[in-house]
Copies of this chain bind each other. A is one copy, B any other.
């Protein structure tokens, strides 16, 4: 199958989606100018896939850094560790980094590649559904600050994305569902037909039908590639991809990073955005119900934790990168398939949403 392409001129790159791609040396080779490759991964993924990647890299000089795994890896210290290895091995400007793992590995390894020698190339090999449909595409890299998520980072596009849907077979149930949150997000923010398709095929997706998963990854990446090609630096339309994220980041930060998975927080945030839009009559109550219903069917939270008060939310949301001089801006649906970034919403409606969309819930959210 033809790869998708993120069309960024001389920095355009392919996204390969399919089965059994991780070990395909022909997918790596065109993007490795030099002989030195550093594979960054985490302990779980290393056991499952590292050997296949090493074999695919052939007789190049391959080093690896294995992170512990989880959001706690997303620190400047982890970036320092990766850079230390690049320096110790005397990797030069034509060396490459391979980010093998979930979103955290991709963000940290990509940021290390962005700053080592002011930028070397890197290949994304996402192994979670969330990383395949979202974080591996688009060049956002970075780490968290104790006071906020993704506050330190860089835009640095990969030279290639290899999304092997076979890797999804070993994903935990919880991570699969967290990834589906982002898939559903694409339907809500961009493509009503895709939303219909997810509704119709959710059971098969949850049963890990690989053909259905591949279709959902491919369509999600198509949307992301289209948006990123239009607006690499998030000056405009790209902000729409952050549907559910301002609420979601507040949940992640307020509950301490890693307690809720990113996808779970985005699921709740998407439901809260739909609730707020319905309160202002931007979308119908029926459409808000459809969004929330699909998220519930996927075994994802349709509201935030009661542990966070409305004031907690407001305080945490004001720190969002999209906020301008203290004013919160939100991505809100105008319909299923259409969203807008705006600071122009009714604050009383937001207060209503923050009050109503709370529940005494704890991950995991499915039986």
Contact (Cβ within 8 A) A116 B325: no
Within 8 A of B (CB), among A136-164: 140, 142, 145, 147-148, 150-155
**Residue A19 lies at the interface, judged by CB distance under 8 Å to chain B:** no
Known: A118-B155, A142-B118. A87 touches B148 (CB 8 A): yes
Cα separation A150 to B117 with both chains bound (whole Å):
7
Can you give 15 A-B contacts (C-beta < 8 A)? A34-B324, A34-B325, A35-B325, A83-B145, A88-B147, A93-B322, A94-B324, A115-B154, A116-B152, A117-B151, A117-B321, A118-B140, A118-B154, A119-B154, A154-B154
Interface readout for A127-143 with B: 1 if CB under 8 Å, 0 if not? 00000000000001010
Q: Chain B residues with Cβ under 8 A from A92's Cβ? A: 321, 323-325
Q: Does A76 lie within 8 Å of B87, measured CB to CB?
A: no
In the complex, what's the smallest C-beta–C-beta distance from A287 to chain B, in angstroms? Answer: 31
Asked if A83 contacts B119 (CB within 8 A), the reply is: no
CA distance A94 to B155 in the complex (A): 17
Contact indicator B154/A321 (Cβ below 8 Å): no
**What's the Cα separation between A115 and B94 when bound, in Å?**
22
Question: Is A54 interfacial (CB 8 A cutoff)?
Answer: no
Closest to A155 in B: B118
Interchain CB contact under 8 A, A115 and B153: yes
A80 within 8 A of partner (CB): yes
5 extra interface residue pairs, beta carbon distance < 8 Å, beyond A94-B324, A114-B154: A34-B324, A83-B152, A87-B148, A88-B147, A119-B154
For residue A185, CB closer than 8 A to chain B, the reply is: no
A319 an interface residue at 8 Å Cβ cutoff? Answer: yes
Mostly, the A contact residues are mixed
What is the chain B residue whose CB lies nearest that of A322?
Answer: B93
Set of chain B residues within 8 Å of A117, measured between Cβ atoms:
151, 153, 321
Name A's B-contacting residues (CB within 8 A).
34-35, 76, 80, 83-84, 87-88, 90, 92-94, 114-119, 140, 142, 145, 147-148, 150-155, 233, 318-319, 321-325
Q: Which residue of B lies closest to A327 (CB)?
A: B92
Min C-beta distance of A110 to chain B, whole Å: 11
Set B87, B116, B118, B319: member contacting A90, Cβ < 8 A: B319
> A153's contact among B35, B118, B155, B233, by CB below 8 Å, is which?
B118
Kindly list the 4 A-B residue pairs having the minimum CB-CB distance in the complex, ordered from nearest.
A118-B153, A87-B147, A115-B152, A87-B145
Shortest Cβ distance from A36 into B: residue: B325
Contacts of A87 in B (CB 8 A): 145, 147-148, 151
Q: In the bound complex, what is the Cα–Cα distance between A149 and B169 (angstroms)?
A: 44
How long is the Cα–Cα vector from A364 to B322 in the complex, in angstroms?
50
